[in-house]
Amino acid sequence: MMAPKEALDLLREGNRAFLNDQGVIPALDRDTRLRLAAGQSPFAAYVSCSDSRVPPELLFGRGLGELFIVRNAGNTLDTAALGSLEFAVSVLGVPLIVVMGHEACGAVQAAVSVVHDKARFAGNIGKMIQPIIPAVLEADLSCETGIEPAVRQNVRRVVRELREDSSPIFLEPQAHGKLMVVGAYYRLTSGEVDFFDLAGK
């Protein structure tokens, strides 16, 4: 089984290649598909935004069967997200969970507008952004920084929940060094992923 740091190093290496326009072309051939049909063993689980500009496989040059991805607007945790991650850790044995926010996140922008402009959203959009509002309230926002502090704080809150306030499925492997949970921020303009919330820092 891959160690958590090895998994993180693989992602960093893949993003460096992406930044240098040297993206890896993953195996998509029939033999690979047949092998994966028998079972999967991804090396990382990813909580990412649904934003169409933020596809984790492409940002890290990864292919079929390598990343177990949970995506929703604002990269938050609900029952489906937590259950999916629990499956990734307890059944698939992933050693790494990455929670990644991104530049110009529409869900975080909507939460900011609720807090600062008392905006209201129809349907389930309001319910969807509700978990992001505490991060907006905690963030130090200014005209210069835009929503970036709120995006990063939202990532920190999700990471903290997975590190400290979750089920034993997450806490026990972290205590034994078999699982690491990290936070990241993706810059749309540069393509760079900043792993800014690392365990122990």
Q: What is the per-residue pLDDT across 16-31, written as a single tens digit (0 to 9) for each?
A: 999 998 867 777 788 8
pLDDT digits (tens, 9 = 90+) for 154-198: 999 999 999 998 899 999 999 999 999 999 999 999 999 999 999
pLDDT digits (tens, 9 = 90+) for 61-103: 999 999 999 999 999 999 999 999 999 999 999 999 999 999 9
Task: Measure CA 89 to chain center.
Answer: 15
Q: What does the pLDDT read at residue 166?
A: 83
| Residue 200: pLDDT over 70 | no
Model confidence band, residue 5 (pLDDT cutoffs 50, 70, 90): very high
Q: Quick one: 164 exposed, middle or buried, by C-beta within 10 A (0-12, 13-18, 19+)? A: exposed
Model confidence band, residue 201 (pLDDT cutoffs 50, 70, 90): low
Does domain 4-197 bear CATH number 3.40.1050.10? yes
DSSP for 178-198 reads S-EEEEEEE-TTT--EEEEE-
Domain ranges of the chain: 4-197
Q: Distances from the Cα of 183 to the Cαs of 21, 136, 194, in angstroms?
A: 24, 17, 9
DSSP for 1-44 reads ---HHHHHHHHHHHHHHHHTT-------SHHHHHHHHT----SE
Structure tokens at 45: 């689980």
Longest Cα–Cα distance of the chain, Å, equals 54
Model confidence band, residue 108 (pLDDT cutoffs 50, 70, 90): very high
